[in-house]
Structure 1
Amino acid sequence: MPLPIVIADDSLLARKVLTRALPEDWNVDISYATNGREALELYRAGRASVMFLDLTMPDMTGYQVLDALQHEDLNTFVIVVSADVQPMAQERVRALGAIAFLPKPVTPEALRPVLKEYGLHG
């Protein structure tokens, strides 16, 4: 059974780059969100065992999504993918429950160890 994942980013190019960085043999069902509100809706619909989350999006930011997930006690693996690589941003997303922070553009080499560490991909 495919693992449901959400890629949440307002940039079509960023969504494509991240999709290409996923392991080719990873059995997943990908849903896309262009803002944080859509990402939460997809999660609530059971579409996000793993969520790749940009921080800067319209309507609802990645920080707001992480906050909502935490306050509603929602359980998903969140990997933040952002161009904002400042240490403060990285500390903040980890405090809000993200399992990893990857800088844009994501590469397969950067993604693979994170997935392996959490048992999401061999």
Structure 2
Amino acid sequence: MSFPVLICDDSAIARKMVQRSLPENFASEVDLATNGQEAVEKLQESTYALLFLDLTMPIMDGIEVLQEIKNKCIEVFVIVISGDIQPEMKQRVEQLGALDFIEKPVDGHKLQSVLQRFGLY
């Protein structure tokens, strides 16, 4: 299975870590966004099957992105990758439609486990 993926994080290092953690031949295309506003614009312009989303970003944070996805009925699976690991935050992102929450720094095995659990890999 191979499909388009969007990685949204304000940190170039974090974006590269997520991209490198993806299974080989997992994504047909990987696009990058440096903030939430850019991610929402890309989601409206193109179709992505999966969005990896940071929570703490300038301009528009991850919670606002999840709300926009919900409000605009954008169909995309979302996995949040963040250092903000408070149980309340995990519960909030799941209520807003995220599949799962992975703690930073991203671990390739954990990422692949989440993808397998949801039948994405």
Q: Same fold (TM over 0.5)?
A: yes
* Aligned AA (1:119): G
Aligned length: 121
- Report the TM-score when normalising by structure 2: 0.94
What is the rounded CA distance, in whole Å, between the counterparts of 2:60 and 2:27 in structure 1? Answer: 29
Q: CA deviation at 1:48?
A: 2.0
Measured against aligned partners, the alpha-carbon deviations of 1:52-79 in whole angstroms (never above 9, x if no partner) come to: 0000111100000000111111111000
Unaligned runs of 5+ in 1: none
Moved over 3 A (4+): none
Q: CA deviation at 1:49?
A: 1.2
The residue number in structure 2 matching 1:118 is 118
Q: CA deviation at 1:47?
A: 4.1
What is the rounded CA distance, in whole Å, between the counterparts of 2:28 and 2:119 in structure 1? Answer: 14
* Aligned AA (2:4): P
**1:19 and 2:19 are equivalent in the alignment:** yes
How do 1:81-120 and structure 2 match up within 5 A? 81-120=81-120
Unaligned runs of 5+ in 2: none
The residue number in structure 2 matching 1:48 is 48
- Report the TM-score when normalising by structure 1: 0.93
What is the rounded CA distance, in whole Å, between the counterparts of 2:17 and 2:108 in structure 1? Answer: 10
What is the rounded CA distance, in whole Å, between the counterparts of 2:83 and 2:47 in structure 1? Answer: 25
The residue number in structure 2 matching 1:5 is 5
**Aligned-pair identity (%):** 44
* Aligned AA (1:7): I
